[in-house]
Amino acid sequence: MNRQPPVLQVEGLTKHFPVSGHKVVHAVDDVSFSVSRGKTLGLVGESGCGKSSCARTIIRIYEPTAGRILLDGEEISTLNQKQLLPYRKKMQMIFQDPYASLNARMTVHDIIAEPLRAHRVCSSRQEENEMVSDMLARVGLNKEHANRYAHEFSGGQRQRVGIARALILKPELVICDEPISALDVSIQAQVVNMLRHFQEELALTYLFIAHDLSMVRYVSDDVGVMYLGQLVEKCEADEIYRHPLHPYTVGLLSSIPVPNPRMAKAREKSGLEGDLPSPIDPPAGCRFHTRCPYATEQCRQEMPQLKEASSGHFVACHRIFNR
């Protein structure tokens, strides 16, 4: 044993959804990345770029069309649901909408205990009670909250319940699908700090999906940028903000409103023109060429591959490698 395999490794992951008229939605197309233990990979992109589909395919809510998913070096993409059960314990998900992702008819105790019951972790009711109240305390709720229902809580408190449910099985990989975008600014920071605290304490590995780029930079070690189902750029988090290479990343970054009026009024903004094309008939060649200010004939015909431009910095763009 010289080297630990990454907690999550994804190779050529593809997810197509059939739609009427014998067409397919190219939700995820040939995406590859890996995340090592205790690290966070941030996935960013506009809505419809496939970041959530990617997460849901990894956790096998959706069946992958093609590609491999390796959890701790073991392939899980070919397992059936029953074989998958022991691996489900190792990967959990925190959802975007703390209103829709908690069952309104279950008490908070039952919501948090459900994963324990599904995996038959506790041998007695007492053990279950102890684990749940311990977990509640760790997410900053108290024992009295256990017998209440989700509607009695604020958005931030509900998201804490969602986090407690995801972490009670002590998973290795936690997929956070926009965990803070439905929360108020003052609450977002609370939740992010809590996620970081648990990561340090439990050596959790995060796949953090968000469209708030400044928050992604703050929580992630590495960042992947997705566009129309494909990974177009991937590198260390600070690097992507300091030296973005792909014209899409550059446009996305310059679209972020800066909470600094002097900078906001002074800077020349480029931004992105137009809308995301349909993933049913993605543009040929580079999928970004319809909105790219530098598109050439080559971009319209030939699909660029994700290649290393400098150490650890991968980008799929002809322009970077042609100059």
To another protein, the closest distance from the beta carbon of 276 in angstroms equals 7
Rg of the chain on CA atoms, in Å: 21
Total Cβ atoms within 10 A of residue 116: 18
Of 47 and 147, CB closest to another protein = 47
Contact 132, 113 (CB under 8 A): yes
Of 254 and 298, CB closest to another protein = 254
Of 202 and 258, CB closest to another protein = 258
To another protein, the closest distance from the beta carbon of 42 in angstroms equals 12
To another protein, the closest distance from the beta carbon of 294 in angstroms equals 17
Of 167 and 252, CB closest to another protein = 252
Q: CA angle, 55 as apex, 231 and 318 as ends, to 5°?
A: 5
Interface residues with another protein (CB under 8 A)?
46-47, 154-157, 184-190, 192-193, 196, 211, 213-215, 217-218, 237-238, 241, 251-252, 254-264, 269, 271-273, 275-276
Contact 102, 158 (CB under 8 A): yes
To another protein, the closest distance from the beta carbon of 73 in angstroms equals 29
Nearest to 7 by CA among 58, 57, 73, 69: 73
Q: Which residues contact 183 (CB under 8 A, 6 or more apart)?
A: 98, 155, 156, 159, 191
Contact 7, 35 (CB under 8 A): yes
Of 87 and 248, CB closest to another protein = 248
Total Cβ atoms within 10 A of residue 34: 15
To another protein, the closest distance from the beta carbon of 121 in angstroms equals 31
